[in-house]
Structure 1
């Protein structure tokens, strides 16, 4: 009689940036740092950890996505909360839910853009343009444009004049911010995202709901191309 064979579950391979994220949190604990403290500049931290700047940057993005740190342009990386449990597991949980977040964004924001094109007022258009200008200024100053991006999507949502859709966007706001941070942290992505926003704004200003929905869908498609979904990292 053949012996029973128990299948051993496959162990998820820890990617390099996940290992570095674990190293960073261990370094934070060893150094006695807490919420509000700043990490050393990236070049210095990369040397201390013995990793490349590129890998360190990806690890910091992963930590920012799960809320462990906040990266502020001109102010460095600040610890935003102490972490409990396994960092790699938290990062994987984010990656696992990311496709569903993007599906939800596509469903809600595509409709929001179409409604905005139909219902926007002159004041709504002014708020959308102000958000675009704010994002452009952030990027020109060397930032990622995260605050401007958030402001733009909020302005478009307000222009849809749908209280229920606006409430749903608030409900998923923290999850949307995860996708925003991850997308805008990729090289050349802020400018591409700004161009997508301008296309959405132009369609809304023209009162073309079909073009607005298509432009928003294209934009969400761009956001879906995120580095942390790449198992080859």
Structure 2
């Protein structure tokens, strides 16, 4: 599984091998890397070469060095790690703008590329969401809503779009929770997205895009209200 290196750029080779081992889930997120001596022997490199490779992957966001815990896997790919770092620094409105762009494109692509399996998954989330509303189980509704959006993006069948959207999920979840905690009216029935499902099922790209634009505009207004409400209490 781990191959000994034999070319000039040993640091890059070791870094690439470690990255591939992470992507293949040989080491999963949260796992601690083996001791330094063990890795040096497995890769057939010096301590300096190994440390430089690890340092490069820490900088890329794939690995994280924790005091007392050694080096642990932080992310499965460099793109996701970079996007997560950027998202954390972004303003909420900027994130919403990016979400609109990605979800609008995803809805249009999903209208073209969705499969019967995709439709069954989307419909299943809607049905579970309806039941959550009846049970006043709004925590479950939030999770189901996020899964629905992810399923729409997945139905686009565009891997880069899927990778770009993934770092936003945690931010979106946190945002909706904040809305619930405020006195801002939250329209749970609008989280069922039945009309978006119908547009995707009917392969109506125009209707799918229009739905996302309208939904995001409503969301934008709710964010403004939430921010104003917070400012009044500060």
Q: Distance in 1 between matches of 2:180 and 2:121?
A: 22
Instruction: Tell me by how many angstroms 1:188 deviates.
Output: 4.4
**Secondary structure in structure 2 of the residue aligned to 1:100:** helix
Q: Which residue of 1 aligns with 2:104?
A: 110
Q: Distance in 2 between matches of 1:139 and 1:179?
A: 19
CA contact (8 A) 1:193 1:219 kept: no
CA contact (8 A) 1:199 1:215 kept: yes
Q: Which residue of 1 aligns with 2:149?
A: 153
Instruction: Tell me by how many angstroms 1:135 deviates.
Output: 1.2
Q: Which residue of 1 aligns with 2:120?
A: 126
**Secondary structure in structure 2 of the residue aligned to 1:142:** coil
Q: Distance in 2 between matches of 1:184 and 1:111?
A: 28
CA contact (8 A) 1:183 1:189 kept: no
1:170 paired to 2:156:
no
Q: Which residue of 1 aligns with 2:56?
A: none
Bigger radius of gyration, 1 or 2?
A: 2
Task: Indicate the RMSD between aligned Cα atoms, in angstroms.
Answer: 2.1
Q: Distance in 2 between matches of 1:178 and 1:98?
A: 11
**Secondary structure in structure 2 of the residue aligned to 1:216:** helix
Q: Distance in 2 between matches of 1:222 and 1:184?
A: 15
Structure 1's 183 and 159: CA in aligned 2 closer, same or farther, altered over 3 A?
Answer: farther
**Secondary structure in structure 2 of the residue aligned to 1:200:** helix
Q: Which residue of 2 aligns with 1:189?
A: 187
Q: Distance in 2 between matches of 1:162 and 1:126?
A: 19
Instruction: Tell me by how many angstroms 1:157 deviates.
Output: 1.1
**Secondary structure in structure 2 of the residue aligned to 1:161:** coil
Q: Distance in 2 between matches of 1:184 and 1:215?
A: 23
Task: Between 177-186 and 220-229, report the one with greater CA deviation.
Answer: 177-186
- Give 1:198's match in structure 2, choosing from 194, 197, 200: 194
Q: Give the structure-2-normalised TM-score.
A: 0.54
Deviations, residues 137-185 of structure 1 (Å, cap 9, x unaligned): 1111112210110111111111111100100111222222223323455
CA contact (8 A) 1:131 1:155 kept: no
Q: Distance in 2 between matches of 1:188 and 1:104?
A: 22
Greater fraction of residues in helix: 2
Q: Which residue of 2 aligns with 1:143?
A: 137
Instruction: Tell me by how many angstroms 1:228 deviates.
Output: 2.3
Runs of 4+ in 1 over 3 A off after TM superposition: 182-188
Q: Distance in 1 between matches of 2:180 and 2:188?
A: 5
Bigger relative contact order, structure 1 or 2 (CA pairs below 8 A, ≥6 apart): 1
Instruction: Tell me by how many angstroms 1:209 deviates.
Output: 0.8
Q: Distance in 2 between matches of 1:222 and 1:105?
A: 13
Q: Distance in 2 between matches of 1:147 and 1:175?
A: 13
**Secondary structure in structure 1 of the residue aligned to 2:128:** helix
Q: Distance in 1 between matches of 2:208 and 2:187?
A: 21
Q: Which residue of 1 aligns with 2:85?
A: none
